[in-house]
Structure 1
Amino acid sequence: MIRTGYSFGAAVGDIDEVLDRIKEMGWTHAPIADRNSTFGYSKWTAGCKARGLTPVYGVEIGVSSDRYAKKPDIDYFVFLAKDNIKAINKLVALATDQTNHEPLLSYEQAMNAEGVYILTGANPRISEITKPHSGSALLSIMPSTPAAIINHFCTGSRPMFDDFVVRPDNQFCNPGDDVLYHTVCDRWSRSRTTPQYIADSGQLYTCLADKLYDHDFATWLVENGEQTRQMILDDCDAKLGAAELYKPKTPFNLREECIRGSVDRRVDLGSGLYADRLERELAVIEGKSFTDYFQIISDVVSWARSRMFVGPARGSSCGSLVCYLLGITSIDPIEHDLVFERFIDENRSDLPDIDIDFSDQQRGQVFDYIKETYGAGHVARLGTVAVFRARSALAIVAKALSIPSWRTDALADIIEPKALGAEDRDLSIEQALVGTDIGRKLAADFPEIRIATRIQGQPRHFSQHAAGVILTEEPIDTYVAVDSRTGATQCDKYDAEKLNLLKVDILGLIQLSVLEDCLEMTGRSRKSLEEWPIDDPGAYRLLDEGQFSGIFQFNGRALQSIADQIDITCFEDIVSITALARPGPLHSGMTQDWIMRKNGLREIPALHPMIDGILAPTLGVITYQEQIMQICRDVGGMEWSDVNKVRRGMGKSMGADYFAPFRDAFLSGAVSSGLDREKAIVVWDAMVEFGAYAFNKSHSVAYAMISYWCAVMKAHHPMEFYAATLSHTDDQDKKIVLLRDADAQGIGYVPFDRDLSTSKWTIGSFDGVPKLVGPVSGIIGIGPVAANEILSERTKPWERTSARTQKLLASGKTDVDTIYPIRDRVKQLYPDGVPGVVTKVSSIREVLDPNYSGSPVIMGVVAGIKEKDGKYGKELNLFVKDDTGEMFVKVYTSHFDTIAKDIIARGGKGKMIYALKGNVRDGEFRMMTVTKHRFVGDTGK
């Protein structure tokens, strides 16, 4: 009967806040009934338990006399589960099994619902209501129920109803929350400022109030309706039970399967190192009853590996020898010094996460296999809930209350600084409003902005999880509702964990599709690449020369910047920079320290042989979580259970009180291991300081391997690599970067060829010279359907092809006809050079180089433009793009009238070319401040 924020637009209310209100009102039962949603069930259950309330589970669903009408009449019924949650889940599936409108039931479906109490909405069509075949139907009396409905019930015949019930109709929780409701749910026709809005709106009745009605009903009607409500709540005994894990139907001996896999992997289990590791892992896995889970994952991955490219590993599962021997991963954890305990934490009983990357173009087959193998009724995609983050909460308030967006954007930039550290990520709007200059000024100018503090964290919308799949032993609707429109559960991954639902993450990675196509074009097997020697000089030479385009992970500026400052000579270098090219290490100085040591410009300190050995791969810099774990375990002599607590605490930047007992244990153990106490303190303090930035080495190794494979294929099969990468690149700018890179390596291309173009980029011979050939779909105006039609006529002579095909191919114009569009356009406009531009024009790539200094002239298109108020007046922010890159450019107040106004007046974002002269600011963030400008011309598009 009670709505929460999980009604997604029909109500607002944090679950804890709503339950506190119910407790204050003296209710013993807490009936949740969100609109078309059961997403709140798990949190509701936990909240009720903490407050001594009895949870009752329901759902509110629209009921219509014609659910397929263009504008159906809708009354919102509430259904309360009597003794089985499955009854509600079946109704949700039934209501969502149509796509015309929001989820709806017909009156017949609603009245025939089994295992539930059926409570009408505020305005039902009495003529459509029939006596239910089973269950109980009750007329609802709410604050919004029309008097005519009540009079009809009191005076007329009512054989279809068992009784009537007084119930709430809340859209928000507390009196005064109407502004919150209207802001989040967008229930106004125009934006208003807060004072006017509050004055106009008055006090709404739709809060969760002690008095649930405003009608002047007869006393007996009210008293009986409330008694009925309590009676049905007392009678509702449905429980939200934990699921029984899926039990595979085929025999499986984990030890024997590992031994069998060791033969294929050429692993000598007679070796003490491997044998001991296997025994330790098997003891943990079997002791926690995880064998069935490993069997299922092994089955899915084994099926997939025989049909498509599967990633080497993802996340901490890369650290498991069992996963490696079963073929779930393809990286030897002992060879790369990975830690099993990072994968399975002895402190926790929940299933470990084994995330798997599959070829993006074939991932759908994996979902189909799981459904066919384990049963459609036992498999569903996982749901997910997006909440209002700081930026979106501030934005919606700014829109609703006419606050300038640039003011709230400035505060959001402080709150969400792109992950400097854990404490920054935890910053709330309230903290920012109180603890920052920008926040205090914003709150002083617009006091109503504080409503955003209530919105942050509220549910915003739900969708299907990108990768998660749920498997259950019993039919899945025994435990959770499934939205028929998407096939996704109405629970997120956290709820699934609490419900003991087995979750498998089936992720798609485009780069695996690239490698898959590349291998097919070269005739190589997937296994040949997995077994490629890790010391290929051609691959490292390619990276060392800065040929980064198309290389997995190397498209980011941060990683490229690190790679440009060192010589990449081994696989460990790729692993290290994968971990170090993140905001935390970059801003803390860890990355620069590593670079200096790599280049021999800074000494690697010696602390203790055991510590030095653990940190040797990263030149003495604490880079990985596994290093912290190994130091705590091997040097500090700590138990694995405590080691994992330390790792999690450091990742969350917990305070001194949390670490105190672990610090004492570590220092004591380190001294026993022969480390001087003062050095032990230095090591502990370093771990605490940098622990928040330490990365998962298992994941770093796994993704570094994909980067290495890309480098191998690009070094040895460059044309095939470019063709495969182009086929899986949708962004025009990225295609152009790839083609420029190929051009620099002496590889030419043809945008389209009538005889050779296929559905993908391929390789063709032109006068004996191999070139890249663009696809048929690359022609502007030709989509997949037309492309297939054209290719089907490929066998016919040109004169016999259809007029439609000839017309489609007539222009042959593509979005990559030129890979230097700005240079070519300027040359077309000014064959002899741009008048007035006498200084050498620098490319943006040159200017972005950290070693560049001076006052350059750049020439490019204004791709982005934003006018804003600066400290001393108007300023203009620009993003300027040439054929080599893009950079941030600023026009300050002093040049606003002479430069900015001209650029603004010409408009045409992305269409106007300018020559700009200015100064480049020193430092990691490269930007140019403009002092002179000249309009060159338009792009001709």
Structure 2
Amino acid sequence: MSKFVHLHIHSEFSLLDGANRIKDLPVRAKELGMDSIAITDHGVMFGAIDFYKACKKEGIKPIIGCEVYVAPRSRLQKEPGIDNHYYHLILLAKNNEGYKNLSKLVSLSFVDGYYYKPRIDREILEQYHEGLICLSACLAGEVNQALLMNQTERAEEIALWHKKVFGDDYYIEIQNNGIREQVLANQKLVQLARKLNIPLVATNDAHYLKREDAYNHEVLLCIQTGKRMSDEDRMKFDTDELYVKSPEEMSEYFKAFPDAIENTVKIAEQCNVEFEFGHTILPNYDVPPEYPTHYDFLKELCDKGLEKRYGKNLSEEIQKRAEYELGIIKKMGYVDYYLIVWDFIHYAKTNGIPVGPGRGSGAGSILAYAIEITDIDPIKYGLLFERFLNPERISMPDFDVDFSDERRQEVIDYVARKYGHDHVSQIITFGTMAAKMVIRDVARVLDYPYSEADALAKMIPNEIHITIKKALEQNKELKDRYDTDEQTRKILDIAMGLEGMPRQASTHACGVVITKDPVDTYVPLYVRDGQINTQYIMTTLEELGLLKMDFLGLRNLTVIQNTIEMVKENHGVDVEFDHDMSDPKVYKLWQDGNTSGIFQFESQGMTNFMKELKPDCLEDLIAGVSLYRPGPMDQIPRYIRGKQNPGHNEYTHPSLEPILNVTYGCMVYQEQVMQIVRDLAGYSLGRADLVRRAMGKKKLDVMAKEREVFIHGQVGEDGNIVVPGCVRNGIDEVSANKIFDEMAEFAKYAFNKSHAACYAVVSYRTAYLKAYYPAEFMAATLNSYLGNLDKAPQYIDECKRLGIQILKPDINKSFEKFTVEVNNSEAVGKIRFGLGAIKNVGTVPVENIVAERKENGEYKSFTDFCERIADTQVNKKCVESLIKAGVFDELEQTRATLLASFEAIMDTIQSGKKKGFNGQVSMFDLGTEQEKEEMEKQKYQYEEHPEMPEKEMLSMEKEMLGIYISGHPLEKLREQIIHSTNINSMDLVQISEQSLANNAENSTNVDEMANVQARNSKPKFVDGQKVKYAGIITSIKKKYTKNNKIMAFITIEDLYGAVEIIAFENAVIEAGRSLIEENIVVVDGRLSIRDDQEPTIIANEIRDFGDEKLNVVTFDITDFTEEQKDKLRCAIKYFSGDKNNMNVQVKIGDEIRPCGAIYYNDEIKKIFDEI
């Protein structure tokens, strides 16, 4: 039996304060001869379940606790200067009732009591004290604070109140931690405890594992507070004693109070919380009363759904598949799961909320297809049920569902109403200190120069889940610096000590938990920005058996729905997608590379892949989104060859052809691995899925065993054949071994075909709409970015390519969003800019403007507009923005006149209303048009001005709309800029997306497929690369460094977006007069790519674009031989460069195409001469 047990310990989940890793605590406890250990994080229980499992793994008893914050008065009182003070208190769960009460207290501290900190109070402590042990806590405890202020009577009252509530389960806590105030407090605490007959308990408030970790902990505190180690006023503990001490050390420290040590063991013996994993707790689903069982209701839904999907005469295959799935679902107890998912999807579809065709492996269920949870035929596309729900592996099924991003919350609200708001919660997630970030953090805290810290961080490879230790193994330069440079070694050692610890909590992007009883019955709650979350992450909730659902918001579903609505309004057509998804006109978009706006296919790499592949069926799209990922990309050339020469596909064995012919001999999907194992070796699909999982996770022991079974089969103890094996099925051993090797290698990268198929359907639908209704589709796409038009320029550019005119906003024609104006004489509609996209206008003013126009007709003049909206929320700031955006350009006055006159006109109208003129007949209701015009001139005095220059008007449009509409200052220079530069703003957007994808483990991005695609896109640009960029300066911010040197942050916009340029003193001085807003410049510089920031360009030189010399060589290749073309291709490919640029373009007939810039030297000159 242990002589001492730690009962006051802070783990890494006391965010940026505790430095004890959960996994290390039970290991250390075992090393020190302790059989129990507690976790008491500050105000939270984030790590309770992980701690419990880690302790159980090491054979150590886990004690679940929390150091709660206690309000000085009521938790409901939140008065500044009084209630921002709080006390600490340790609570430990004796049993499962205590755990539930602790969860309740912690939940209420966030839900009711949050004020600077999550706080409980005496009221709820008394209400939920059963099953809890209470310790008086550290120096911040209420008893300690009273004693330190010499308020002995108050300290006694506090202690007696807790003794009254907790009885023998209340302890006075003493510590010996090297802090001066603690020595004085201990004397008084012991006196009080003896006087009131309250037992003592010894703790150490351990914030780190070992004494030598104290420095790392100080660095961690600096990261939390934004301080440096050199700051004298930084938060710190004046001791290195707050570590997990041995029983011997604690006994020595408290040898005068042996009972305080003995009581730690006594308390530990009383604490016996047990969690149950692996069971399922589904919420109650009420079926209509006419159905005897829930299964009967599901069965009828299935039967009706199958008839709707396949007709009355079902094939034997469909009938057997449905019966099989229903049997498995009933046997495994997931009938209610299907009904719960069906119910909220049915609600969404009934209420016009767009729902995706499916997501993840759930599309492999024919039952899901029948009852319209999914919308892709698993029979037609070879999707497997066992990939979703494996009868040989007990695990909760998992339907992830996409909804329109604008209406997703409506579905969550419905679920909350149906099951009870206290039965539904969103889910927490944690951002961790990843390798690059923690290096930068530590370097900053240690006053390491920014540039050197940045260079050090950039030596970490751009790999997902990369660690510093792994980087040291991979990067020789980094390892050499670590071995030879003391400062580098210090930074990296500290960073490795903190790496991976949670940094902040946030709300999971899509996770929702639905529980049978109130959520806080099972788990504690956390509140962030008014949003209630569970304190346990998604995987922990699943382990506890709770129902977790992913309600994902997909922007593209909103685009599809909005397009369909506009098509109906403009053309009277109800869009119906072709069921077999085989329209050649649609596939031509991929074949020609016109993929802007098409879901999953917008990246340049994916576009190039499709242009080469020439897809003509959905299977090609499914393969496309599956292959364009790490690992499988190597199969792309083979896939393309197979597509183009279908009769020449090669198979390791003929038996593979029926499985792999759909992918031209390539292994692409996880389902294909399962089918190979089943069809060649005779496995059940359930066991085949287990083999696939083992291969994917590289479980070598399982794979070795399964290799033998796959080749030679398995015979049961009764002599019956369990698995026939390849050899029994006529496949030779050599081929079987080779096939197993191929599967094992490929399974690491194999993708879920069900998920890819669902997304291919969404992709097809977006492409269908773009092919047949391009104006409506592009308008809907622009609307999807209405709140952030950063991506709009590339779609505006696409509209121009498609011949779709973008019309500026108009007070009589614009609505809130982008709309399409149709003219029967024109082949394609025009897109009208929406008023809601204008800065400083807002939704309510737009609604006022549109409603008034709809009720009383178009605005006849600017003053008519001002009169009619005078009593609405359309204020002067709003009107000024409308003028600048050009919405009144079709009326009589110029923008310059309106800007000079609008305030006086609005004041005159308001003045008239105050004098009682409102309610009278408007002057515009009487007389002829000429008379009205004369009356207006008499009543309102315009300050007449000629129209402002075009450049100024464009600048105002850009200011108000975020993009240029009437024209672009760079449009006339488009070709010259293309030939003079080697990077544009869209390139930087792709760099940013790739960087985000590399750090996706710390993001809540709901689209993991987009992440893996971005991660695997071959980088066109790298950090530090020399680049040339050109555009118009839109803003300049100058500042002085600590060394009193000037630097500038310059925003320069090109035809597609904007880029931030950083210019240091030399570049700023040399730029001189070039550095003014609205000037068109060219920048020579180098790329700066950081994972935690948007990519920027560090300027070496900034100069007027007019000074740029354009060196262009044009080759007319109309009559070139193939040999000449090859030489030119090689020259462009192998001599691409970034200085001494020669811009190459080719002419084919009357068409000229730019080919890129090359490094011009004697060698390339010789090649050109030969050509």
TM-score (norm 1): 0.85
Number of equivalent positions: 897
Is the 1:75–1:122 contact (alpha carbons within 8 Å) kept by the matching residues of 2? no
Query: Shift of residue 695 of structure 1?
Result: 1.1
Q: Equivalent residue for 1:175?
A: 211
Against the structure 1 CA distance between its residues 456 and 646, is the aligned structure 2 distance closer, same or farther, given a 3 Å change threshold?
farther
Is the 1:3–1:35 contact (alpha carbons within 8 Å) kept by the matching residues of 2? yes
Distance 2:17 2:518 in 1: 30
Q: What do the CA deviations read for 1:785-835 (whole angstroms, capped 9, x no partner)?
A: 5444544544564141336353342211322334874623759xxxxx98x
Secondary structure of the equivalent of 1:205? coil
Secondary structure of the equivalent of 1:516? helix
Q: Equivalent residue for 1:780?
A: 839
Against the structure 1 CA distance between its residues 354 and 616, is the aligned structure 2 distance closer, same or farther, given a 3 Å change threshold?
same
Query: Shift of residue 38 of structure 1?
Result: 1.2
Is the 1:411–1:438 contact (alpha carbons within 8 Å) kept by the matching residues of 2? no
Secondary structure of the equivalent of 2:656? helix
Query: Shift of residue 207 of structure 1?
Result: 0.8
Secondary structure of the equivalent of 2:726? helix
Q: Equivalent residue for 1:372?
A: 417
Counterpart pick for 1:565 among 600, 609, 612: 612
Is the 2:174–2:203 contact (alpha carbons within 8 Å) kept by the matching residues of 1? yes
Which 10-residue stretch deviates more, 363-372 or 13-22?
Answer: 13-22
Q: Equivalent residue for 1:441?
A: 480
Against the structure 1 CA distance between its residues 809 and 528, is the aligned structure 2 distance closer, same or farther, given a 3 Å change threshold?
closer
* 2:167 is the counterpart of 1:94: no
* 2:51 is the counterpart of 1:44: yes
Is the 2:814–2:833 contact (alpha carbons within 8 Å) kept by the matching residues of 1? yes
Q: Equivalent residue for 1:236?
A: 271
Q: Equivalent residue for 2:93?
A: 81
Query: Shift of residue 631 of structure 1?
Result: 0.9
Alignment of 1:598-677 (within 5 A): 598-600=643-645, 603-655=648-700, 657-668=701-712, 669-677=725-733
Q: What do the CA deviations read for 1:567-620 (whole angstroms, capped 9, x no partner)?
A: 22111111111111123222xx21122223323399411444431121111111
Q: Equivalent residue for 1:872?
A: none
Q: Equivalent residue for 2:1154?
A: none
Distance 1:714 1:453 in 2: 50
Name the aligned partner's letter for residue 452 of structure 1. A
* 2:795 is the counterpart of 1:738: yes
Query: Shift of residue 663 of structure 1?
Result: 2.0
Counterpart pick for 1:809 among 879, 882, 900: 882
Is the 2:104–2:128 contact (alpha carbons within 8 Å) kept by the matching residues of 1? no
Distance 1:759 1:433 in 2: 54
Distance 1:555 1:843 in 2: 18
Distance 1:534 1:517 in 2: 21
Q: Equivalent residue for 1:311?
A: 356
Distance 2:62 2:136 in 1: 21
* 2:442 is the counterpart of 1:397: yes
Is the 1:857–1:916 contact (alpha carbons within 8 Å) kept by the matching residues of 2? no
Distance 1:620 1:929 in 2: 41
Distance 2:206 2:1135 in 1: 52
Secondary structure of the equivalent of 1:381? strand
Q: Equivalent residue for 2:294?
A: 252
Alignment of 1:475-514 (within 5 A): 475-485=518-528, 486-514=531-559
Name the aligned partner's letter for residue 503 of structure 2. R
Q: Equivalent residue for 1:278?
A: 322
Distance 1:579 1:910 in 2: 46
Distance 1:494 1:649 in 2: 20
Q: Equivalent residue for 2:133?
A: 117
Query: Shift of residue 753 of structure 1?
Result: 1.1
Query: Shift of residue 683 of structure 1?
Result: 2.3
Q: Equivalent residue for 1:753?
A: 810
Distance 1:680 1:7 in 2: 53
Q: Equivalent residue for 2:1074?
A: none
Against the structure 1 CA distance between its residues 490 and 184, is the aligned structure 2 distance closer, same or farther, given a 3 Å change threshold?
same
Is the 1:268–1:274 contact (alpha carbons within 8 Å) kept by the matching residues of 2? no
Counterpart pick for 1:470 among 513, 517, 522: 513
Name the aligned partner's letter for residue 750 of structure 1. L
Query: Shift of residue 455 of structure 1?
Result: 2.5
Query: Shift of residue 840 of structure 1?
Result: 8.0
Distance 2:865 2:375 in 1: 49
Name the aligned partner's letter for residue 20 of structure 1. V
Query: Shift of residue 915 of structure 1?
Result: 7.0
Name the aligned partner's letter for residue 504 of structure 1. M
Against the structure 1 CA distance between its residues 843 and 384, is the aligned structure 2 distance closer, same or farther, given a 3 Å change threshold?
closer
Name the aligned partner's letter for residue 696 of structure 1. N
Structure scoring higher RCO (CA < 8 A, sep ≥ 6) equals 1
Q: What do the CA deviations read for 1:322-377 (whole angstroms, capped 9, x no partner)?
A: 11112110111001111111112334212011111011100001111111111222
Query: Shift of residue 379 of structure 1?
Result: 1.7
Query: Shift of residue 923 of structure 1?
Result: 10
Higher alpha-carbon Rg: 2
Secondary structure of the equivalent of 1:461? strand
Against the structure 1 CA distance between its residues 249 and 915, is the aligned structure 2 distance closer, same or farther, given a 3 Å change threshold?
farther
Query: Shift of residue 778 of structure 1?
Result: 1.8
Alignment of 1:193-592 (within 5 A): 204-210=240-246, 219-220=255-256, 222-241=257-276, 244-250=281-287, 251-253=293-295, 254-267=298-311, 270-307=314-351, 308-403=353-448, 417-418=462-463, 428-444=467-483, 445=485, 446-448=488-490, 449-485=492-528, 486-523=531-568, 529=576, 532-586=579-633, 589-592=634-637
Is the 2:69–2:89 contact (alpha carbons within 8 Å) kept by the matching residues of 1? yes
Distance 1:862 1:558 in 2: 30
| RMSD value, Cα | 4.4
Query: Shift of residue 90 of structure 1?
Result: 1.1
Query: Shift of residue 465 of structure 1?
Result: 1.4
Q: What do the CA deviations read for 1:650-676 (whole angstroms, capped 9, x no partner)?
A: 323444x54222222223323333334
Is the 2:405–2:557 contact (alpha carbons within 8 Å) kept by the matching residues of 1? yes
Name the aligned partner's letter for residue 140 of structure 1. E
Distance 1:671 1:217 in 2: 71
Secondary structure of the equivalent of 1:80? strand
Distance 1:726 1:818 in 2: 13
Distance 2:209 2:580 in 1: 63
Q: Equivalent residue for 1:798?
A: 865
Which 10-residue stretch deviates more, 604-613 or 908-917?
Answer: 908-917
Against the structure 1 CA distance between its residues 177 and 470, is the aligned structure 2 distance closer, same or farther, given a 3 Å change threshold?
same
Q: What do the CA deviations read for 1:708-756 (whole angstroms, capped 9, x no partner)?
A: 0011111122221111111002543421221221222221111311112
Is the 1:13–1:458 contact (alpha carbons within 8 Å) kept by the matching residues of 2? no
Secondary structure of the equivalent of 2:398? coil
Counterpart pick for 2:1140 among 931, 935, 939: 931
Distance 1:285 1:654 in 2: 29
Is the 1:861–1:913 contact (alpha carbons within 8 Å) kept by the matching residues of 2? no
Is the 2:325–2:367 contact (alpha carbons within 8 Å) kept by the matching residues of 1? yes
Against the structure 1 CA distance between its residues 619 and 409, is the aligned structure 2 distance closer, same or farther, given a 3 Å change threshold?
farther
Distance 1:141 1:159 in 2: 15
Structure 1: tracts of 5 or more residues without a match: 420-424, 828-832, 866-877, 935-941
Secondary structure of the equivalent of 1:488? strand
Distance 1:926 1:789 in 2: 60
Against the structure 1 CA distance between its residues 459 and 268, is the aligned structure 2 distance closer, same or farther, given a 3 Å change threshold?
farther
Is the 1:752–1:773 contact (alpha carbons within 8 Å) kept by the matching residues of 2? yes
Is the 2:562–2:780 contact (alpha carbons within 8 Å) kept by the matching residues of 1? yes
TM-score (norm 2): 0.69
Name the aligned partner's letter for residue 101 of structure 1. Y
Which 10-residue stretch deviates more, 135-144 or 766-775?
Answer: 766-775
Distance 2:1107 2:841 in 1: 29
Name the aligned partner's letter for residue 176 of structure 1. E
Q: Percent identity?
A: 27
Secondary structure of the equivalent of 2:361? helix
Distance 2:590 2:461 in 1: 33
Is the 1:407–1:442 contact (alpha carbons within 8 Å) kept by the matching residues of 2? no
